[in-house]
Structure 1
């Protein structure tokens, strides 16, 4: 009986992160079904899966910057228009959502200016 309880407890601990992650994944994927009729009277059913991009990410200094995770990614060349200081050599300002992010040459976040593009 003791072995059964310990094995059930171990299985619960292993499966709990997987079960907790499932609802978040389900919110990002959605299946859309479209039903229409052709001119000849046939009914056509089309199914497709729509994947929504994740919501805006909160960047912090020291993190590794990945432009695939940035929302509305752009390289900022006219940084003075947004009241940003000139980036040091090898660094650049980029846009992620409404935030301006200073990235060094290695791809790490140096500074984040929240709400720079309102």
Structure 2
């Protein structure tokens, strides 16, 4: 009986960091509810779910999951370094993301846009 309990405790200790890392890597979701009242007395409620994602170097950049995605061509305006050959700066929310042409994230600068 002691061996069974000890093996269960050991399995729990081994598996717990894996569960935590999967939870951290998953994108966070935010629900936005908009309520509008029209002149005719009707109330329109719109609910949408958006994913907020914290990009990290080495991840695959998917522009469909980036909030407010734009390619940044005037990088000097935002005090960003010129991108190396075969890369470009992209905007994802308030973050500046340096992306290779194959879609791999090279660098992330958080809160570089207002």
TM-score, normalised via structure 1 length? 0.58
Report Cα offsets for 1:43-62 as digits up to 9, x if no partner.
Answer: xxxxx9843212x2100000
Equivalent-residue separation in structure 2 for 1:80 and 1:61 (angstroms): 22
Partner of 2:70: 74
Which of the two has higher C-alpha Rg?
1
Q: 1:29 Cα shift?
A: 9.6
Partner of 2:48: 51
- Listed as ranges, the gaps of 5+ residues in structure 2 are 1-27, 34-39
Inter-CA distance 29–80: structure 2 relative to 1 (3 Å threshold) = closer
Q: Counting helix residues as a fraction of each chain, which structure ranks higher?
A: 1
The number of aligned residues is: 87
Q: Counting strand residues as a fraction of each chain, which structure ranks higher?
A: 2
- Listed as ranges, the gaps of 5+ residues in structure 1 are 1-23, 31-36, 38-47
Q: Cα RMSD between the aligned structures?
A: 3.2
SS in 2 for 1:68: helix
Q: 1:86 Cα shift?
A: 0.5
